Structure formats: C-alpha cells, structure tokens
Amino acid sequence: MWRTPKRANLARNAVSILLILAALTACQCAPVEKAEIEPTAVIPTVEIVPTEGAQIEVFYVSVFQGAEMGSPEAHLIEQFHADHPEISITRSPYRAFPEVYLDWLRRFPFTAVMSLPADYNTRQAIEEGLLVDLTGILAREDLDRAYPEDFQAMLAHEGRVYFLPIFHSWFGVYYNTEVFDRYDLAPPETWEELLVVCKTLSENNVAPIVYAGDDRQMVSAWFDYLNMRLNGPDFHAALTNGEESYTDERIRAVFDTWQFLVESGYILENSWGLQAEASMDMVIGGEAGMILAPGYQSHGELDFFRFPIMDPGLPVGELTPTIGYVILANSPDIEAAIEFFSYMGSAEAQVYLAQQIDPAIGLLPLHRAIDRDTFTPEMQKAAVLIESADVIRQPYFWCFGDNLLNPLSSIFRNILLDQDYEDELESLEKNHLMVFEASFQ
C-alpha cells in the first residue's frame, strides 16, 4: 500500500480543507431554492493588514485554511506585492458559506478574487452578472491553453468563461492491497468482477464493502456512480437538472442494485452509522476490503480502482470536485484584481503551490506546466482516471441541500436496515419537484 508514516498528522493538517470542502459542498449545482440571507446577517470580515506604500487593496478569499496550506499562498502574495508595490492583498480564509460573500457583493462593492467550487451558486452568480467574464483575460495571459478545456467548460455561460479551475479531486473505490494480496484478488474492472471479489472476501470473514452512512457525501457518491454506470451520465445529468423523475424505473434499478449488495451481505450492516474517518480506518485496518471515497479522504494509505463498469455501451462518467478562481464583477479596482488573478493562475504560482501543498490532501493541480513526475502514484493514477473518462461532473452532494440529501441518504440506510423506503422516495421526488418549480417561478 502507499503508506505515509504520519497519518494522524496528515489527517489533522488536512481537516481544515475537508471542512471547507464540506461547507462548499453544501451549496448547489442544479436549480434549488436559494436560501434567503437576512439583511441583518453578520457580514464576514477580515483582518486588514495594510501594506506600506500600497494604494489599492484587493481582497483574496481563499479555500485554503491554516498555516499548512495558507503559507504557500502567503509567500505568493509577498512575491506579487514585490512586483506590484501599489497593490495590497488582504488574504482571508472562508468564514462563512460562499453564498454569503456573493450576497455581500450584491450590496457592498469591493475588489476581490475568490476561490470557489464549480457548483450551482457559482453558476447562478455568473448568470446574474456577479463575476467577471474571464475569456479575454485568459486568452491575453495564455491561461486558456494552460488549463484543460473540459474543466474550463464546467461553468461556461453562453460560450464565455467565468471560472478558472485550479484544483480538483476524484472518487475511487479504495481498497486494502494487503487484504487483496492475501486472497489473490485483482482490482475489478467490471461489475461482475466486483461481485466475485465481494464473494471471496465475504467467504473469508472480511466485510467486502464499508460505507460512511453518516457522511452524506460518501453516501450520495454511491447514487452518482450506480446511476451513471447503470443509466449513463447523460441520464444522471438530466435527473439532477430536473428533467427526469426519481420515480422512473431506471432510478428504482439503482436502489435495487444497492439492495442486492445488501442482501448478498456485501455491505457492512452497521455502516449506516459510521463517519468517513472511521470507515476509512476499517479498510486500512483490514476489517473491510473496500470503500467508495473521494481522494481527499484517503490520506494516501490505500490503493484505488475506478468504480466498475456495469454497461460497456455507456459513456464513462467520473466525479471531479473542482475549485477555481473568480473575480467579482463590481470590483472598483478591477485592473488590480485582474493583475492578482493572472498571477495566481500563472505557471509560476501554480507550480509553486503544487510543490508546497501536501499531496495527502488529495487535490490534483490542473495547470499544464506542472510536472506530473512530481505527483505521488495515487495522484498519477487519479489523473489518468479522470482523463480517460468520457464525462466529468460535480458530485451530487455539491448539487443539492438537505431537502434532497436527507431523503436520499435515508433510502440507502433503510435498504441496509431492511426497511421500506417508499416514503423517503416519495419525499425525494416531492422535494425534487419543489426545487425545480421554485427555480423557474
């Protein structure tokens, strides 16, 4: 296995990025009811440290938290200021949900660059004209050719680019290589091969699959992959865009497949109450063989394989939680914001970040100037996984709020506990219809 001798430290160092990713994933990437922010809501503030001699201030709201990840960005800010002494950069981690900042900018103009998830709130901000059209800027700075086109297209609007993707993670079925070697098992490529692996592990008193039932992101990833593998990524996209129904027989087939795994004894029964870290520990410790998880949850201690193919005639879809830079459109000093944005997206800055940020946090840099020979084996494998996909998309958990995530998670739990899930399915469809009806009113 790819082991690191200081897993506990890496877990603590990575916890801040996991927390902010969890916060970001509470946002939406398909039309949903937008939470109203009261006028009296506390506006997130930052500690302003004036830079001597600077005349223009740019706020940079960063997804990276703490010294472990913030220090590299602080170094880049110092480098930028050395070349642009007239511009002061005030860096702040997120202290509220991103939509609070976006609501703030609707009322209080301030010059800012932000790192945001490629989700619905960001898309809505683009459609409302809250973010700068980056198309010309990217072309002028050659950044349009420095980043993969399919990632740039994630939030493209009317042929224009408003979001520069810088990092992404991935999902895989993580497994304990020592357990697989013990029973002469190979990573499965097809669903049939996965079932053979599950049967072998079960016969040897190893729980084939554990899942973090208390972590809705990891639960909903099962829905993402089962639906994409059974019905195709196009159908899955249509469902999450409000064009298909959860009562469709194709969706029932997804839950029937999960039920088959449960009834076959391939899912650890008490998984429904486990958190992500505890579930990962069970695989690392050999109590379970496999877990579907995001790269930023693995800490580099397990190997992984692609979620198995169920229908070779369907395009292959993969989940790529993505973070990128944007510029606020009402920035009074827009040219200063563009200067800082261009520097942060440059090869110089991105190569430095890639060299400094601990790979154990499970993020892949996207700038093409970054030497992949510097990637860990896990990162190299993840890059190939994503590049070989026919379709990339954001996770379901990045798409919706509690009104859909709660009933979806309950369906998976009820099946695991051999309980009826018709009420939860009805609630899921009802909330689904309310979400999209509200978005078009």
Question: How sure is the predictor about 1, in pLDDT bands with cuts at 50, 70 and 90?
Answer: very low
d(CA 378, CA 114): 28
Higher-pLDDT residue of 41 and 400 is 400
> Given pLDDT bands bounded at 50, 70 and 90, which one contains residue 210?
very high
pLDDT for 55 equals 82
Contact at 8 Å (CB) between 47 and 419? no
Q: Are residues 210 and 149 in the same domain?
A: no
pLDDT at residue number 246 = 92
Beta carbons within 8 Å of 107's beta carbon, 6+ residues apart: none
Q: What is the mean pLDDT of residues 17-25?
A: 45
The 3-class SS string of 313-370 reads CCCCEEECCEEEEEEECCCCCHHHHHHHHHHHCCHHHHHHHHHHCCHHHCCEECCCCC
CA-to-CA distance for 108 and 429, rounded, in angstroms? 38
Domain shared by 263 and 408, yes or no? yes
Q: Mean of the pLDDT values across residues 353-361?
A: 85
Residue 8 has pLDDT above 80, yes or no: no
pLDDT digit string (tens) for 257-276?
999 999 999 999 888 888 88
Q: C-alpha distances in angstroms, 156 versus 22, 25, 410?
A: 24, 20, 34
**So what's the pLDDT on residue 3?**
33
In this prediction, residue 36 carries a pLDDT of 34
352 pLDDT tier (thresholds 50, 70, 90): very high
Tell me how crowded residue 440 is: count the other CB atoms within 10 A of its CB: 7
Same domain, 103 and 12: yes
Buried b (16+ CB within 10 A) or exposed e, 12-29: ebbebbbebbeebbbbbb
pLDDT band at 44 (very low <50, low <70, confident <90, very high): very low
Residues 6+ apart with CB under 8 A from 195: 264, 266
Residue 304 host element (H or E)? strand 303-305
Check pLDDT > 90 for residue 30.
Answer: no
Shared domain for 196 and 344, answered yes or no, is no
Do residues 27 and 85 share a domain? yes
Query: In this structure, are residues 91 and 77 in contact, taking their beta carbons and an 8 Å threshold?
Result: yes
- Count of structural domains, the chain: 2
pLDDT of 405-426, one tens digit each? 888 888 888 888 888 888 888 8
Mean predicted lDDT score pLDDT of the chain: 84
Q: How confident is the model at residue 437 (pLDDT cuts 50, 70, 90)?
A: low
SS3 58: strand
The reported pLDDT for the residue numbered 52 is 57
Q: Please indicate, yes or no, whether residues 385 and 422 belong to a single structural domain of this protein.
A: no
Q: Residue 35: what pLDDT?
A: 32
Task: Kindly state the average pLDDT of the residues 330-356.
Answer: 94
Q: Do both 26 and 87 map to the same domain?
A: yes
Is position 1 within any domain? no
Q: Cα(355)–Cα(370) distance, rounded to whole angstroms?
A: 9
pLDDT band at 245 (very low <50, low <70, confident <90, very high): very high
Total Cβ atoms within 10 A of residue 34: 15
Angle, alpha carbons 210-359-149 (nearest 5°): 95
CATH of the domain at 199: 3.40.190.10
Tell me if 341 is assigned to some domain.
yes
Number of H helices and E strands in the chain, helices first, is: 17, 12
Residues 161 and 200 in one domain: no
Q: Does residue 2 form part of some domain?
A: no
Interval 280-323: pLDDT, tens = 999 999 999 999 999 988 766 799 999 999 999 999 999 999 99
C-alpha distances in Å from residue 96, one per residue of 25, 30, 43, 46, 296: 13, 21, 9, 11, 21
3 state SS of 115: strand
Q: Residue 217's closest CA among 402, 37, 3, 435?
A: 402
The residue segments making up the domain with residue 243 are: 171-319+401-439
Whether residues 311 and 417 fall in one domain? yes
- Does one domain contain both 43 and 121? yes
pLDDT at position 49 is 47
What pLDDT band is residue 4 in, cutting at 50, 70 and 90? very low
- Which residues, in sequence order, are CB contacts of 262 under 8 Å at separation 6+? 415, 416, 418
The string of pLDDT tens digits covering residues 115-125 is 988 877 788 78
At residue 67, the pLDDT reads: 60
Report in angstroms the alpha-carbon separations of 48 from 73, 91, 93. Answer: 16, 8, 13
Task: Single out the residue of 210, 170, 169 nearest to residue 363, CA to CA.
Answer: 169
Higher-confidence residue of 57 and 439: namely: 57
Q: Looking at the structure, do residues 365 and 429 belong to the same domain, yes or no?
A: no
- 43-59: average pLDDT: 59
pLDDT of residue 105: 66
> Looking at the structure, do residues 301 and 432 belong to the same domain, yes or no?
yes
More confident residue, 395 or 107: 395
Asked, for residue 370, whether it belongs to a domain, the answer is yes
DSSP assigned state of 307? P
**What is the average pLDDT across 58-86?**
86
148 in any annotated domain? yes
| Gap between the Cα atoms of 290 and 293, Å rounded | 9
| Cα distance between residue 110 and residue 58, in whole Å | 8
